Amino acid sequence: MASSSSSYNVYIPNDVTPTAETKVKLADQILVSPLILGTWAWGEEKQWGWNADLDAKAKEAFDMSISKGINTFDTAEVYGNGESERCIARYKSNQPVAGTENIVIATKFLPLPYKFAYPSSLINALRASLEKLKVECVDLYQIHGPIHLRSIEVVANALAEAVKLGLTKTVGVSNYSTADTIKMYDCLQKHGIQLASNQVEYSLLRRVPETSGLIAACHQRNIAVLGYSPLAMGRLTGKYSKANPPPAGRKFSDVSLDELEPLLESMRSIANSHKVSVSSVALNYVICKGVIPLGGARDGKQAEQNAGALGWRLSNEEIQQLESHPITPNLSLFNRFWQHG
């Protein structure tokens, strides 16, 4: 398998080893690393127990990611009520200017039903995010979920307006179904704008975007698929077990720990053979499936483990071994409401 410093459209081909130099091109405009750092935990007190100590550790994660060639950071206006965006601005300001030139920032608009006035609701939210991020233009602006009461066409027109105003380079969606992704793609095409991405939960514990055909449908239209919770909220890091379960409230990828353990045993075996962490195996799997993983990192060590997903590639036999373990997701009402893709 050849390593490459080239850029690839939408996803990394299955005969290419992902490295820090390998980039993926979204909407034929922005170059993102094959692994994106997800920043949901930054600034989030209720879900992740954010405090001053974690702020310092998150900065370590940011710095480590940059040092490992991971140039892309995903945030949202709702993460920590905007604190995640402020964190990125702070951590970026402490980097040498030369180290921040190629940083790519993606953020999201939460289209709550009361946000009814389009395009102004979206444009105002985007301007507020730009102010917190301390940038004039974001690289990727995404609709956070399919919960807007207005039509996809109305939301698409607002996204197009954001592009035309120079407030974002590209636009994407998140948690959209295949049908709604295609509809958004078609609506944006009328403006001459390419839909850059659909961000959905994808991991060894949730393969629905693959088995439903969503990933294939996106790739057919040059839409990148970004996979959030690729570590299943810590379940695929190897640190949790039946004796040491994850903290309560981790909604995504909630599965039986009895089912999880055989999969983790396979992951540990593969991790040992490649001399990487269990987390690295989970993230490399997502890359091998044509998806760009958004791995969270709360400190420098976790960021370094995530970066261990680059520089090698799972074999077809190893992928088959990982997929041979039956997993039954526990789908809550929240997941059904939020996740259409």
Comparing 5-9, 112-116, 117-121, 197-201, the range with the smallest average pLDDT is 5-9
CATH number at residue 110: 3.20.20.100
Confidence label for 333 from pLDDT (cuts 50, 70 and 90): confident
CA 53 to chain centre: 25
CA distance 325 to 329: 13
Q: What average pLDDT score do residues 101-110 get?
A: 95
pTM of the model: 0.95
Render pLDDT for 306-320 as a digit per residue (tens, 0 to 9). Answer: 999 999 999 999 999
3-state secondary structure the chain: CEECCCEEECCCCCCEECCCCCEEEECCCEEECCCEEECCCCCCHHHHCCCHHHHHHHHHHHHHHHHCCCCEEECCCCHHHHHHHHHHHHHHHCCCHHHHCCCEEEEEECCCCCCCCCCHHHHHHHHHHHHHHCCCCEEEEEECCCCCCCCHHHHHHHHHHHHHCCCEEEEEEECCCHHHHHHHHHHHHCCCCCEEEEEEECECCECHHHHCCHHHHHHHCCCEEEEECCCHHHCCCCCCCCCCCCCCCCCCCCCCHHHHHHHHHHHHHHHHHHCCCHHHHHHHHHHHCCCEEEEECCCHHHHHHHHCCCCCCCCHHHHHHHHCCCCCCCCCHHHHHHCCC
79 is catalytic: yes
Query: What mean pLDDT value characterizes the chain?
Result: 93
Q: Read off the pLDDT of each residue in 128-139 and give the average, rounded to a whole number.
A: 98
Alpha-carbon dihedral 140, 146, 150, 152, rounded to 10 degrees: 60
Number of domains in the chain: 1
Share of the chain above pLDDT 70, in %: 97
133-153 per-residue burial string, b: 16 or more CB within 10 A, e: under 16: bebebbbbbbbbbbebebebe
Which residues, in sequence order, are CB contacts of 86 under 8 Å at separation 6+? 43, 132, 133
Nearest to 196 by CA among 106, 293, 71, 123: 106
313: left (phi over 0), alpha (psi -120 to 50) or beta: beta
Average pLDDT rounded to a whole number, residues 151-157: 98
Q: Are 138 and 168 in contact (CB under 8 A)?
A: yes
Output the pLDDT for position 249: 67
How far is 18 from 302, CA to CA, in rounded Å?
19
What is the extent of the structural domain holding 36?
2-338
Question: What does the alpha-carbon distance between residue 129 and residue 123 come to, in Å, rounded to a whole number?
Answer: 10
- Confidence at residue 158, expressed as pLDDT on a 0 to 100 scale: 98
Alpha-carbon distance of 69 to 129, in angstroms, equals 25
Q: Report whether pLDDT(95) > 90.
A: no
Question: Is a pLDDT exceeding 70 seen at residue 98?
Answer: no
pLDDT score of 330 more than 80: no
The pLDDT of residue 52 is above 90? no
User: What pLDDT is recorded for position 238?
Assistant: 87
Q: How confident is the model at residue 99 (pLDDT cuts 50, 70, 90)?
A: low
Q: For residue range 156-182, list pLDDT tens digits in order.
A: 999 999 999 999 999 999 999 999 999
Q: Does residue 3 surpass a pLDDT of 60?
A: no
Model confidence over 55-77: pLDDT tens digits? Answer: 999 999 999 999 999 999 999 99
**pLDDT band, residue 97 (cuts 50/70/90):** low
Q: How confident is the model over 238-265, as pLDDT tens digits?
A: 888 777 877 776 677 888 888 899 999 9
The pLDDT of residue 5 is 61
Residue 37 has pLDDT above 90, yes or no: yes
Taking residues 191-204, what's their average pLDDT? 98
Selecting among 8, 11, 79, 202, the annotated active-site residue is: 79
Looking at residue 253, what is its pLDDT?
Answer: 81
